Amino acid sequence: MRYISTRGGIAPLRFQDAVMMGLARDGGLLLPETLPTVTAGMLDRWQYLPYQYLAKEILSLFIDDIPENDLEDLIERAYASFTHPQVTPMTRQGDVYILELFHGPTLAFKDVALQLLGNLFAYVLERTGGFMNILGATSGDTGSAAIAGVRGKNNINIFILHPHGRTSLIQALQMTTVLDPNVFNMAVRGTFDDAQALVKAIFNDLAFRDRHRLGAVNSINWARVLAQVVYYVYAYLKLRKLGHDSVDFSVPTGNFGDIFAGYVARTLLPRGCIRTLILATNANDILARFVAEGDYSRGQVQATSSPSMDIQIASNFERYLYYLRGEDGNAVGRDMDNFAATGLLDLSACRKQVAEDFRSRSVSEEETLATIGEFYRQYGYLLDPHTAVGVKAALELRDPARPVVCLATAHPAKFGAAVVRAIGSEPPLPPALAGLENRESRCAVLDADLATVRDFVAANALK
C-alpha cells in the first residue's frame, strides 16, 4: 500500500513515511493510492472479533510495512487505557443507537486515533533513532487527546495551539494542566481557523519543517482518519449480528475528519452496508451548505455550546474533494488555491454525487440544548452538545426502515455549562475530570501571528 497527495505533487510513500510526513510536502493531504474493499465472507469472519482484533484486521489492509506482531502490540497498547472492554460500546436509546466514543483517557473520540498515533510515532522513532516536534491546532478535544498520547515519551515534544477562551473550561484545563516537560500549550487570540491556518503555514515552510522535524497530529495525518474507520465497521457488525444488512450513521462534524472516516468505511464495506452518512453541523454550517447547495464558502465563526465544531474551514474536506474531482490532483490544487484566495468554491455541479454520499442538517443552539433536555427526560441518557447535534439530525433525517447510529463524540461532563442550561443540573463528574480546576496549569497566550508562533516553537523544539 502506497500513499499519495490529493494534489499529486509527491512520489508515493509507504505507510510509516506517510505517518511521519503528516501534511504532504506539496500542501495536500495524504491518501491511499487505492481504497481497499472487503467481502461478505470477511465480514462473517470479523463479526465476532473484539475491537482490538478487528482493528488489526482493518489496519492491516492499509499497512504493509509494520510486522503483524508489532502492529498487534501497538493496537493493544493504544487501547489499554480505555475504561470499557469494548473500547467503543453501543447502546440503544429510543429510535437511535448511540456509539460511545468517549471511554479513552480524555473522554473524547479523538482518543481512539491519538492513542494509536502516539504509539506509532514512538515506534518509528525508536527504530530510526530520530526525534520529532509535533505541532497541532485544536478546537477543543484533539489537543488533550494528542497530549495524552505522547506526554512523557522520549524524543518527542508537542506544541498545541487552541483558540484562547473559545474551548470549554474543562477542555482547556485538560491540556494546560499537563506539566510534562515535553508538552507546550499555546492559546492564540483568535478562532480555531486562525490556529489551524498558522499550523498549515508553518508546515508549508519546508525549511523550518525539516530543520525541526515537525510531525502532525491533527486529522490532516492519515493515521488519524484510518483509526476512526474501525469503529464504523465495529458498529455495523454489531447491528449485522442483529439481522440488519444496512445501517445509517449520523456524525457531528466541523472538520470533516470523522465523517470522512465514515466515507472510507462505506467504501471499504460491500455496497449498501452503510447506506447514508448524515452530516450534522452546528450553526457553523459550511459543510451543511455544501451538501445541500454545493456552496462551500467561508463565513464568520460563531461561538456555540459545541465548540469543537466552531469551524468554517474543514481541514479534511480536501480528501473528499479529491474523489469528487475524479482523483485529479491538479484540479484539487486549483480548487484549494481558489478557496484560499476567495474563501469560496462553487461545487453545485457535483450535487448529484454528494447527495449519494451524504444528507445534512445544521442544528441551532436552541435545538441543541432542547435535544439534550428532551433526550434526558425521555431516556435518562445525557448527551454532550456535539452528540446532541448528531442526534437531532438523525431523528429528523433517519429512514425508519433501517437503524441509525449516532456518534457520541465526548462525555457530557466536558461541557457542564451547556448541560446545566439544558437540564438544570450539573452532569456527574467522572474521576478523570475531578479536581482539574485546582491543578497547576501552564500555557503561553500569544497573538495569532505567524512569526510569534514560529519563534515560540523554534525556541522550545527538540534539536
Cell of 285: 454550517
Cell of 49: 472479533
Cα(262)–Cα(230) distance, integer angstroms: 9
CA atoms within 13 A on the CB side of 171: 29
Whether the CB-CB separation of 77 and 121 falls below 8 Å is answered with: no
Determine how many CB atoms are found less than 10 A away from the CB of residue 151: 17
Cell of 299: 463565513
Cα(406)–Cα(16) distance, integer angstroms: 32
Cell of 2: 502506497
* Alpha-helix runs per DSSP H in 7-152: 15-21, 40-46, 51-62, 68-79, 110-128, 141-150
C-alpha to C-alpha distances, 195 to 186, 378, 430, 443, nearest whole angstrom: 10, 39, 30, 15
pLDDT of amino acid 102? 97
Cα(403)–Cα(264) distance, integer angstroms: 20
Cα(341)–Cα(247) distance, integer angstroms: 39
pLDDT of amino acid 14? 98
pLDDT of amino acid 434? 86
pLDDT of amino acid 415? 93
pLDDT of amino acid 139? 83
Catalytic residues: 110
Report which of 229, 284, 227 is spatially closest to residue 252, judged by C-alpha positions.
284
How many angstroms separate the first and last alpha carbons of the chain? 32
Measured CA angle at 163 (ends 161, 167), to 5 deg = 110
Q: What percent of the chain has pLDDT over 70?
A: 100
Measured CA angle at 261 (ends 107, 161), to 5 deg = 50
> What are the chain's domains?
90-105+223-423 (3.40.50.1100)
Whether the CB-CB separation of 375 and 385 falls below 8 Å is answered with: no
Residues of the chain where predicted confidence (pLDDT) is lower than 50? none
Q: Is this prediction's pTM over 0.75?
A: yes
pLDDT of amino acid 218? 82
CA–chain centroid gap for 105, Å, is: 16
Sheet arrangement for strand 132-137? 214-216, 132-137, 156-163, 183-189, 444-447
CA dihedral 47, 48, 53, 59 (to 10 degrees): 0
CA–chain centroid gap for 410, Å, is: 12
